[in-house]
Chain A
Amino acid sequence: ETGVTQTPRHLVMGMTNKKSLKCEQHLGHNAMYWYKQSAKKPLELMFVYNFKEQTENNSVPSRFSPECPNSSHLFLHLHTLQPEDSALYLCASSPLMTSGGSSYNEQFFGPGTRLTVL
């Protein structure tokens, strides 16, 4: 399989459940990202991992807990979510997280996990 894959594609959970979203990339990239896309808001960056180290946490509530065991896999652990957390959660990867300047590494996105919190 190639590209960025996400499982599950759809998830329905109650507010007391614990679940995990999985992202896997087969592109040999070293940076991975979690984004949230709500119905009425623009795409929001949540977390960034560069070479398995978290480099960005965009003020995300602690009920979202990311894990990056290696450069190919990224997880988002969910617990005690709220209905307003219902959204499309997108994973992306890029060759590496550049420090700036003129170089840019394109981000490759997965198809997302549609999460519904009841």
Chain B
Amino acid sequence: DAKTTQPNSMESNEEEPVHLPCNHSTISGTDYIHWYRQLPSQGPEYVIHGLTSNVNNRMASLAIAEDRKSSTLILHRATLRDAAVYYCILRERNAGNMLTFGGGTRLMVKP
């Protein structure tokens, strides 16, 4: 399985943008890039996913490098409620809904 590499932790200031990086140098041409996050004392929740083009939704934006070897999750304006562990996950096209979680990045938001 292609693997992802994320920083263990990051800090951000409230109301500022946050860029969470993810490296996936061994990604295959048909792997999708997914992001989930896990708030304290909760199960993970879906954030966004994409294949090649950048994606936007109400929660975040996903910027995918042209060579697809890295991607960045962008929170446009961090709030205290965005403090969570963010997981970057590669999903094989033929894996259906199967997700393999890694260690993730713990995002701390300072007021």
Q: Which residues of B in the span 92-109 have a Cβ within 8 Å of any Cβ on A?
A: 93-104
Cβ of B93 and Cβ of A106 under 8 Å apart? no
Q: For the complex, is A99 an interface residue (Cβ under 8 Å from B)?
A: yes
Distance in angstroms from A64 CB to nearest chain B CB is 18
What is the distance, in angstroms, from A108's C-beta to the closest C-beta of chain B?
8
Is there contact, CB below 8 Å, between A97 and B96?
yes
In the complex, which of the residues A98, A108, A111 contacts B41, with contact meaning CB atoms closer than 8 Å? A111
For B42, give its contact among A44, A48, A111 (CB under 8 Å): A111
Q: Which of B30-76 contact A (CB under 8 A)?
A: 32, 34, 41-46, 49, 51
A105 to chain B: which residues have CB within 8 Å?
Answer: 97
How many angstroms from the CA of A102 to the CA of B32 in the assembled complex?
A: 9
- Interface hub of B34, B49, B98, B99 (most chain A Cβ within 10 A): B98
| B95 and A100 within 8 A (CB) | yes
Known contacts A42-B101, A43-B101, A56-B98: A100-B43 contact under CB 8 Å = no
What sequence of 0s and 1s flags, for each residue 38-65 of chain A, a beta carbon within 8 Å of any chain B beta carbon? 0000111100100000001000000000
A42 and B103 in contact, given A94-B97, A97-B97, A104-B49 (Cβ under 8 angstroms): yes
**Of A91, A92, A109, most B-chain CB atoms within 10 Å:** A109
Min distance, Cβ A98 to any Cβ of chain B, angstroms: 4
B97 contacts which of A4, A102, A107 (Cβ < 8 Å)? A107
Let me know if B44 and A102 touch, CB within 8 A: no
Q: Which residue of A lies closest to B39 (CB)?
A: A111
Instruction: Using A42-B102, A43-B101, A104-B49 as known contacts, say yes or no to A109 and B44 having CB atoms under 8 A apart.
Output: yes
B45 touching A104, Cβ below 8 Å? no
User: 24 A-B pairs, CB-CB below 8 angstroms?
Assistant: A4-B43, A42-B101, A42-B102, A42-B103, A43-B87, A43-B101, A44-B101, A45-B98, A48-B98, A56-B98, A90-B43, A91-B43, A97-B97, A98-B97, A99-B96, A100-B94, A100-B95, A100-B96, A101-B93, A102-B93, A106-B46, A107-B99, A109-B42, A111-B43
